[in-house]
């Protein structure tokens, strides 16, 4: 692998919340350590309330760890980082703005000239499959379409890193598959580093190069699974035995069966570790 | 919004809702009919002698008075309308500003809140004579009372609107390092508009009360002054005419706010209708 500088590095990150009333601090995440390479697609799965959202918010500096350190490109995170795009669970569009103006919101917020980014915004709307919707208002779009707008809004600043917090959790299963595939296409086209939080193991397996599995609150890393499925992946990959084996393996890690140390667990049809890593590396270098 | 017409979805019966700013619906017609019936009953009561003339003049007598004294009626109407408009504008602006200040600064919130409550607990009617003493019989005390009446709903509603902005939206701004002022003008204030308009509606009805109370305390013009004059001269048609005009003033003001609201925050209603 080329550089030793990781895109994101978590080092013994813990987060505890101080409750509003009396009582000790409530731990949300404990001793999280892993690294994300440039251009890598990481999925984080775990049960609700295990601190997945907190992990993302800490990554871009919206909240700070109570212990440990997060580095972006080698630089410790101490305040909100500008070069990171964040996709929230809800589309979070301004209902008073046309679609194009919603995409251009970050540009306006940064005090840049809207006109300079108009064409790029139209290109991005095209990329997310919303050609011709630029003058519509959010209420005219379905939930899935609105989430696509928020994807375009995130891409307008061209952030090298994108953090996605269960972005397709509130759309129906069919739309979700479609959006996942589009995200894979965008990932390939733009070469972004993506950390994608979800509670759907299937979705995580479909998307990720590696999956970080967190246990229930307080969230700890139960294991990191390398997904050796070849890319580009289509929806048909989900019907393969290999896919099912990965899903089963991760489910074990998340669930009760993985109570002990998950690290020793070996996925049944996981290709030998070196091979998988090589494949991942080649893919990264090949792009 | 650049004043653009919003597109909208067709609804049942092919009625395109949302585009209509004000329109005649069955309900509006019904309430007009009820109002007309009440006026007719009043007229009938007066004519049949059920309501003695020295207690209340009939609507037709009030109309007659307005037609025979157009100059008196117009100038006094204008006086009160002017007081109401100035007072409401001053009160509403002060209310919005105070709401924003309170929202941004915890110390100001802690300092101002008791004072705000105190300003509302003291009956404005009781304050009016003091203002008269300090500012004379002219326009100023009327505007001050009206402003005092109308600013409180705007403080509360502006604050409510600003605090109900989605936390994730705030995070979006934070992750962009957006300056506070830009955040305020592009996200907070626009999101708060629906609440602010609700406050303005309440304030618009209170403002007319404020102006009349101020006129009762001491004045040489205005519709409140006309009512007092009518009382002291036993001129019941004058009193009835002034009352009708106050009603008209209040309704026109309310409808004006309502129409402005529906045009300014059409997105809000469309969003809700199509959810």
- Among A3-17, A228-242, B8-22, name the most confident range: A228-242
Structure tokens at A206: 């479909």
The Cα diameter of chain B in Å comes to 74
Q: What is the mean pLDDT of residues A123-152?
A: 92
pLDDT at B148: 92
pLDDT at B118: 86
pLDDT at A251: 87
Looking at the predicted structure, is the pLDDT value of residue A283 above 60?
Answer: no
**Burial class for B23, CB neighbours closer than 10 Å (0-12, 13-18, 19+):** exposed
Strand A26-36: give its sheet, edge to edge: A26-36, A8-17, A67-72, A75-76
Name residues whose C-beta falls within 8 Å of residue A278's C-beta, 6 or more positions apart in sequence: none
Residue of chain B with shortest Cα separation from A136: B7
Q: Which of A57, A80, A95 sits opposite B267 (nearest CB)?
A: A95
Looking at the predicted structure, is the pLDDT value of residue A3 above 90?
Answer: no
Q: How far is CA A232 from CA A113, A173, A245, B106, B219, in A?
A: 37, 21, 19, 53, 83
Residue of chain A with shortest Cα separation from B169: A92
DSSP code, position B184: I
Q: What is the mean pLDDT of residues A232-238?
A: 89
Show residues of chain A in contact with B270, CB under 8 Å: 95, 137, 139
Q: Dihedrals φ, ψ of A86, to 5°?
A: -125, 125
pLDDT at B49: 86
Q: Do A140 and B171 touch (CB under 8 A)?
A: no
pLDDT at B22: 52
pLDDT at A286: 40
Cα dihedral across residues A231, A236, A238, A242: positive or negative: negative
Cβ atoms A209, A184 nearer than 8 A: no
pLDDT at A83: 84
Q: Do B182 and A139 touch (CB under 8 A)?
A: no
Cβ atoms A208, A196 nearer than 8 A: yes
- What are the domain boundaries of chain B? 70-273
Strand A210-214: give its sheet, edge to edge: A84-87, A161-165, A193-197, A41-45, A210-214, A221-226
pLDDT at B67: 93
Q: Do A140 and B275 touch (CB under 8 A)?
A: no
Q: Within chain B, which residues score under 50 in pLDDT?
A: 1-19, 21
Cβ atoms A14, A31 nearer than 8 A: yes
Show residues of chain B in contact with A108, CB under 8 Å: 182, 186
Cβ atoms B234, B227 nearer than 8 A: no
Count residue pairs from A and B with Cβ separation < 8 A. 67
- What are the domain boundaries of chain A? 40-64+76-286
Integer Rg of chain A from CA: 19
Q: Does domain B70-273 have CATH number 1.10.3720.10?
A: yes
pLDDT at B9: 44
| A151-196: pLDDT as tens digits | 999 999 999 999 999 999 888 888 888 889 989 998 998 889 999 9
Show residues of chain B in contact with A82, CB under 8 Å: 175-177
Show residues of chain B in contact with A90, CB under 8 Å: 166, 168
Show residues of chain A in contact with B183, CB under 8 Å: 109
Question: What's the CATH number for A40-64+76-286?
Answer: 3.40.50.300
pTM over 0.90: no
Name residues whose C-beta falls within 8 Å of residue B15's C-beta, 6 or more positions apart in sequence: none
Q: Do A82 and B176 touch (CB under 8 A)?
A: yes
| A90-121: pLDDT as tens digits | 999 999 999 999 999 999 998 899 999 999 99
Q: Do B270 and A137 touch (CB under 8 A)?
A: yes
Show residues of chain B in contact with A111, CB under 8 Å: 179, 182
B108–chain A nearest CA distance, Å: 23
């Amino acid at each position: 692998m080329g550089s030793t500088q990781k895109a994101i590095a978590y080092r013994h990150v813990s987060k505890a919340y101080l409750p509003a009333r009396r009582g000790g601090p409530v731990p949300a995440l404990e001793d999280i350590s892993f690294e994300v390479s440039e251009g890598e697609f990481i999925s984080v799965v775990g049960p609700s309330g295990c601190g997945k959202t907190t992990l993302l918010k800490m990554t871009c500096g919206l909240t700070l760890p109570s212990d440990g350190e997060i580095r972006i490109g080698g630089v410790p995170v101490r305040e909100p980082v500008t070069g990171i795009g964040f996709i929230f669970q809800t589309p979070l569009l301004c209902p008073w703005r046309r679609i194009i103006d919603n995409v251009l919101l970050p540009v306006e917020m940064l005090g840049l000239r809207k006109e300079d980014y108009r064409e790029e915004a139209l290109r991005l709307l095209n990329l997310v499959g919303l050609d011709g919707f630029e003058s519509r208002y959010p209420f005219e779009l379905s939930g899935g379409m609105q989430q696509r707008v928020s994807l375009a809004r995130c891409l307008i600043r061209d952030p090298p890193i994108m953090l996605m917090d269960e972005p397709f959790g509130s759309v129906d299963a069919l739309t979700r598959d479609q959006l996942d595939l589009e995200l894979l296409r965008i990932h390939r086209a733009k070469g972004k580093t993506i950390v994608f939080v979800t509670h759907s193991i299937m979705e995580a397996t479909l998307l990720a190069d590696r999956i970080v599995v967190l246990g229930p609150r307080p969230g700890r890393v139960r294991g990191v699974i390398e997904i050796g499925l070849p890319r580009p992946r289509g929806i048909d990959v989900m019907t393969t035995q290999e896919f099912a084996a990965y899903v089963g393996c991760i489910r074990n890690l998340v669930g009760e069966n993985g109570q002990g140390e998950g690290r020793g667990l070996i996925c049944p049809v996981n290709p030998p570790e070196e091979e998988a890593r090589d494949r991942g590396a080649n893919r990264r270098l090949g792009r | 919004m650049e004043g653009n017409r919003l597109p909208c979805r067709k609804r049942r019966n092919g009625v395109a809702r949302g585009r209509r700013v004000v329109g005649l619906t069955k309900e509006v017609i019904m309430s007009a009919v009820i109002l007309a019936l009440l006026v007719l009953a009043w007229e009938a009561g007066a004519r049949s002698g059920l309501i003695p003339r020295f207690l209340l003049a009939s609507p037709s007598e009030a109309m007659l008075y307005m037609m025979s004294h157009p100059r008196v009626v117009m100038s006094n109407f204008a006086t009160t309308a002017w007081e109401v408009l100035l007072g409401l504008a001053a009160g509403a602006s002060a209310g919005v500003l105070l709401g924003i200040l309170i929202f941004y600064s915890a110390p100001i919130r802690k300092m101002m809140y008791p004072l705000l409550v105190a300003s509302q607990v003291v009956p404005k009617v009781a304050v009016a004579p003091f203002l008269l003493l300090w500012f004379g019989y002219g326009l100023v005390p009327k505007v001050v009372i009206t402003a005092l009446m109308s600013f409180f709903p705007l403080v509360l509603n502006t604050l409510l609107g600003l605090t109900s902005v989605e936390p994730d939206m705030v995070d979006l701004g934070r992750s962009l390092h957006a300056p506070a002022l830009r955040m305020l003008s592009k996200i907070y204030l626009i999101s708060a508009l629906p609440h602010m308009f609700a406050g303005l509606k309440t304030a618009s009805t209170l403002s007319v009360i404020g102006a009349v109370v101020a006129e009762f305390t001491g004045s040489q013009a205005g519709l409140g002054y006309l009512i007092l004059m009518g009382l002291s001269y036993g001129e019941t048609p004058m009193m009835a005419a002034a009352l009708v005009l106050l009603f008209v003033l209040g309704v026109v003001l309310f409808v004006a706010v309502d129409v402005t609201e529906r045009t300014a925050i059409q997105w809000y209603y469309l969003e809700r209708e199509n959810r």
